[in-house]
Structure 1
Amino acid sequence: MRLYTRTGDDGQTSVKGGRVRKDDERVEAYGTIDELNSFVGQAAAVAAAAGGLDELVVQLAQIQQELFDCGSDLAFAEPKSRQMKMDAEPAVRLEGWIDAHVEAAPEVTRFILPGGSEVSALLHVCRTVCRRAERRVVTLSAELPVNPEAQKYINRLSDYFFAAARFANARLGVPDTEYVRSAEVFRKKK
């Protein structure tokens, strides 16, 4: 198999249903999701090596598959619902994982600094890249049609990474570091 095709040498790339410039909003959106997927893979590898985070490793593997689905959905020049891979179920599943991770971590009332364990630090990188991907998808959706379920999933996913980062620290016995000048911004559990 030859990896290079030379078809993009003029600054154009193929999307499903046509060709666009490589800096097209659609390419920016799914390209940022691809970047996020790489960081998720790194976080999963570090979590596996750390030990004791098997459920997190399984979740991250599922997320990687779904990120490919999101990218696929965004790669259509003219998306039609019957072609889309993402539906409502993955975002709902993320909500369950988020709730479980929040319950397993100590209560937080202030902003925290990204870090603690290496796994947590990488999950915070995933969170911030995910937020950038979401901004790219929102920009795209203002110009062209996108699968709303993919957009919803990316929004929910950044919350997942925050909760998972705190869960990883708690599971590994590493405390989160609060931002010292933070006001109390999170409501206490009732």
Structure 2
Amino acid sequence: MVFRRLFRPQVSTLLRQYCDKKPPQEYFNRDGDRGTSKTLTSDTLPKDSKIFEAIGAAEELLSHIGLAREYAQEAEHEYSDKLKRIQTIIIDLSTAISRSNDQAKKIIPKNYTKELEDWILEYSKQLPPPEQYIIPGGGIPSASLHVARAVCRRTERVIVPLVNEGHLHNEALIYLNRLSDFLFIVSRMAAKLDKRTESIYIPKPDEKVQAQ
């Protein structure tokens, strides 16, 4: 009687369904064990090729912006939705890089860059003019955006050869250039929202500093 109560028909059916399930899909494969990988156009290339270097940089940028977005959400900063929008475009960019050997390569629309420019103008009106060199900091949200900007600059550098060789449309380079400007502006906005004072590097009178 106790046995019957414990193993009612519904329970035994669930157990049978569980046991009949196929093994879970593996989370790894061995395709890249020899130092090569495939693009979306099925080209097999070394993992240190210019294309995978660019894809990797774009993925790093995507992740750092994701981290900055999490900090922004915790601090209830309104620009977090803009960061999510940017992440979707970076995925498009990564896709375009992976298809760079395709004649019908994906083009980053110009309105994406225009969107960034509008946001830059919107925030710049709310901020004092930038000093010659702002030391990254100003709170966790601001500092994380400075890191994302540095990664954006590196991503920009590694796709230059792909653009120069005609593998990638120039609009991708323009977008990243404008994105680094936006990340700089929004890092300053984050410091302002957190009521943090920006740290300024003041060079000696006869010294020049590389512009940000």
Residue 156 (structure 1) aligned with residue 156 (structure 2)? no
Answer yes or no: is 1:73 the counterpart of 2:100.
no
- Superposed, 1:38-187 pairs within 5 Å as 38-51=63-76, 53-54=77-78, 56-81=79-104, 83-84=105-106, 86-181=108-203
CA drift of 1:104 comes to 1.5
Given that residues 99 and 106 in structure 2 are in contact (C-alpha distance below 8 angstroms), is that contact kept between their aligned partners in structure 1? Answer: no
For normalisation by structure 2, the TM-score amounts to 0.80
Shift >4 Å, 4+ stretches: 182-185
Q: Distance in 2 between matches of 1:150 and 1:79?
A: 16
- Counterpart residue identity of residue 8, structure 1: G
Aligned to 2:34: 10
Q: Distance in 2 between matches of 1:182 and 1:165?
A: 26
Q: How many residues align?
A: 182
Deviation at 1:85, TM superposition (A): 5.2
In 2: Cα distance, 1:144 partner to 1:33 partner: 19
Secondary structure of 1:20 counterpart: strand
Deviation string 1:40-84 (CA, Å, 9 cap, x unpaired) is: 000000111012x12x10000000100000000000142334x41
Q: CA deviation at 1:182?
A: 7.0
Q: CA RMSD in A?
A: 1.8
User: Structure 1: where are the runs of 5+ without partners?
Assistant: 186-190
Q: Give the C-alpha shift of residue 98 in structure 1.
A: 0.9
Q: Which has the higher contact order (CA 8 A, sep 6+)?
A: 1
Partner residue in 2 for 1:188: none
Three-state SS of the structure 1 residue aligned to 2:28 is coil
For residue 52 of structure 2, the aligned residue among 27, 45, 50 is 27
Distance in 1 between residues matched to 2:80 and 2:96, nearest whole Å:
25
TM-score normalised by length of structure 1: 0.89
The runs of 5 or more residues in structure 2 that have no matched partner are 1-24
Question: Which structure has the greater CA radius of gyration?
Answer: 2
Provide the rounded CA distance (Å) in 1 between the counterparts of 2:169 and 2:83.
22
